[in-house]
């Protein structure tokens, strides 16, 4: 992450859980000269500067109230910026299904606005956060993220050889983040029964800090046009319930509209252009690389076999209930077995 140290960085959606953890990580490992937090939620800006990053202690931070739907505001915020982390999105599956046009405007239109603004002001590199739901999508949220991923990959053609480089990071469910199942189970455990969509449902799990690390490492690895996928463990929804509240019973409620039974991050059709590394995969651009010199990692990457797919169901790495409970205690400290027991009492 040496290229980020002493540089000017902007995070869209910067007041969210990822943005706050990313800012914390940057100041600890690669302090930027200037960090712009771009978000449309005024109250979250106030909370972030009051509770997380006091102005006297972090004079490098600038808070820009703005929406990725607003191209002129984006161009203003991006003046002098070297690197962009794009985390702004509408991400709740059920909300997107009910408000499809709003999701399209933010996730697709916002991506297009950001690309144009980065090209206009001369940003060096952008890494966009995607989701496992963008691989073979079955819901609108996943479809909009797949579309935005394609826009960011193709944006390298607009930039030319010496222009802005764009890449994408795709990973699974973030433990304890807004909308994840862990805090939901925490709230429900006081009732003594946890609603389970399906006992067979599996998901990838990544911690917030692991996600931040992977995104920032991608700035060093990228050549332009890649989709980076970390190797992360899987778990079942039933095991998460056992880890959060072992004293609770479970009730099967069925899979919600737009949900998958298993999540996939590298579908078989993308395996043809995917390289495997020790701790991650790289889905290469289908067109070409946009630099005159091929990426150095091409020499060490191993081509995936025909028909390979990386899904939460066929993963080789699985978390036990004990390991899940340890992760929850570390990364979601409010959700522990003792706390759940007290709530149930």
Give catalytic residues, as residue numbers.
133
CA angle 88, 240, 213 (to 5 degrees): 40
Query: In 3D, which of 44, 8, 40, 45 has the Cα closest to residue 26?
Result: 8
Q: Is there a contact between 115 and 168 (Cβ–Cβ < 8 Å)? A: no
Query: In 3D, which of 43, 40, 96 has the Cα closest to residue 66?
Result: 40
Provide the b/e sequence for 225-248 (b: ≥16 CB within 10 Å).
Answer: bbbbbbbbbbbbbbbbbbbbbeeb
Q: Give the whole-angstrom CA distance, residue 35 versus residue 60.
A: 6
Q: Is there a contact between 8 and 80 (Cβ–Cβ < 8 Å)? A: yes
In this structure, is the dihedral angle defined by the CA atoms of residues 327, 315, 210 and 110, taken in order, positive or negative?
Answer: negative
The tokens for 103 are: 């999701």
Q: Give the whole-angstrom CA distance, residue 325 versus residue 343.
A: 17
- As a dihedral over the C-alpha atoms of residue 180, residue 185, residue 187, residue 192, rounded to 10 degrees, the angle is 170
Distances (CA, A) of 137 to 257, 264, 296, 306: 13, 9, 31, 21
Task: Kindly give the residue spans of alpha helices, DSSP state H, lying in 160-285.
Answer: 181-188, 208-221, 237-244, 268-271
Q: Give the whole-angstrom CA distance, residue 38 versus residue 18.
A: 13
Cα 202 from chain centroid (whole Å): 18
């Amino acid at each position: 992450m040496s290229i980020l140290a002493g540089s000017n960085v902007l995070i869209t959606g910067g007041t969210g859980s990822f943005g706050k953890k990313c800012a914390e990580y940057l100041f600890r490992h690669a302090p930027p000269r200037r960090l712009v937090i771009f978000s449309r939620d005024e109250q979250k800006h106030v909370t972030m500067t009051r509770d997380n990053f006091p102005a006297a202690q972090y004079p490098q931070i600038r808070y820009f109230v703005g929406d990725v739907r607003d191209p002129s505001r984006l161009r203003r915020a991006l003046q002098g910026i070297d690197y962009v982390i794009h985390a702004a999105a509408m991400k709740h599956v059920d909300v997107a299904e009910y408000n499809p046009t709003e999701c399209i405007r933010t996730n697709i239109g916002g991506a297009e606005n950001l690309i144009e603004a980065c090209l206009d002001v001369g940003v060096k590199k952008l890494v966009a956060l995607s989701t496992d739901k963008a691989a073979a999508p079955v819901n609108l949220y996943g479809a909009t993220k797949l579309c935005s991923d394609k826009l960011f990959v193709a944006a390298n053609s607009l930039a030319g050889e010496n222009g802005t480089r764009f890449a994408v990071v795709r990973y699974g469910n973030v433990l304890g983040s807004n909308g994840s199942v862990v805090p939901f189970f925490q709230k429900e455990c006081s009732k003594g029964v946890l609603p389970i969509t399906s006992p067979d449902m599996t998901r990838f799990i990544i911690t917030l800090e692991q996600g931040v690390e992977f995104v920032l490492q991608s700035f060093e690895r990228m050549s332009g046009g890649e989709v980076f996928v970390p190797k992360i463990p899987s778990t079942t929804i039933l095991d998460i319930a056992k880890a959060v509240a072992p004293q609770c019973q479970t009730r099967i409620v069925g899979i919600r509209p737009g949900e998958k039974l298993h999540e996939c991050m590298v579908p078989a059709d993308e395996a043809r252009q995917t390289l495997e590394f020790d701790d991650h995969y790289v889905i290469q651009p289908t067109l070409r690389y946009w630099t005159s010199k091929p990426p150095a990692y091409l020499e060490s990457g191993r081509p995936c076999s025909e028909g390979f797919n990386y899904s939460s169901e066929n993963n080789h790495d699985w978390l036990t209930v004990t390991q899940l409970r340890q992760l929850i205690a570390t990364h979601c400290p409010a959700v522990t077995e003792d706390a759940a027991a007290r709530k149930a009492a």
